[in-house]
Amino acid sequence: MIFKKVSLLFVIIFAATKLIAAEEANINNHQLNYFTGNFDFSDDKQSAILVGFQHQDENLNRDTFLGNVSPITGGFVTENSAAYIYTGIEWNVDMGGMIFTPSFAPGLYHEGDGKDLGHVLEFKSEVQLSYIVSNKTSFGVSYNHVSNASLGDKNPGANSYMFNLLKKF
């Protein structure tokens, strides 16, 4: 049931972004990252399929001593009704045809019927490697670790991998 709702949400978001892109055909300042994968793959009892999306506004990026840094906002939901919403930063390192993207994002976690991560405040550290198909499309793979940095009574963490479709609008 939750996947039907999430799928409908993705269709609505995708349709809306296509309409926005049609109005601003010459401006590619927004990037949406649609992803799916395996939440907490290293824990056989709690492993679950996840789906999510992330937005990056390239109007807000900055060149810093760390490289090109930009804000991100996103979220995901698992088949066990666990959900995580976050906002943070990512670094985009152009490797000529490939983009290496480490990121860090604090966020709010709801366990639903999924894994108890020990606290509502969790931190997501992620690395992503993307292959540039065109100036508007990339495909990637990513790995992340979600943890509460020992803020809660327990801190089991969760390791996940995802497959990504990145579209600029």
SS (H, E, C) 57-79: EHHHCEEECCEEEEEEEEEEEEC
pLDDT in tens, 115-169: 999 999 999 999 999 999 998 999 999 999 999 999 988 999 999 999 999 999 8
If you average pLDDT over residues 64-76, what whole number do you get?
Answer: 88
Q: pLDDT confidence of 64, banded at 50, 70, 90?
A: confident
Residue 69 and residue 62 in contact, taking contact as beta carbons nearer than 8 Å: yes
> How high is the pLDDT of residue 12?
53
Judge whether residue 104 has pLDDT over 80.
yes
Nearest to 51 by CA among 64, 33, 68: 33
DSSP codes of every residue in the chain: -HHHHHHHHHHHHHHHHHHHHHHTTT---EEEEEEEEEETTT-TTT-EEEEEEEEEEGGG-EEETTEEEEEEEEEEEETTS-EEEEEEEEEEEE-SSEEEEEEEEEEEEE-TTS---S-SEEEEEEEEEEEE-SSSEEEEEEEEEEE-TT-SS----EEEEEEEEEEE-
Q: pLDDT confidence of 94, banded at 50, 70, 90?
A: confident
Q: How far apart are CA 86 and CA 71, in angstroms?
A: 11
**Domains of the chain from N-terminus onward:** 2-168 (2.40.160.20)
> How high is the pLDDT of residue 43?
87
Judge whether residue 49 has pLDDT over 60.
yes
pTM for this predicted structure: 0.81
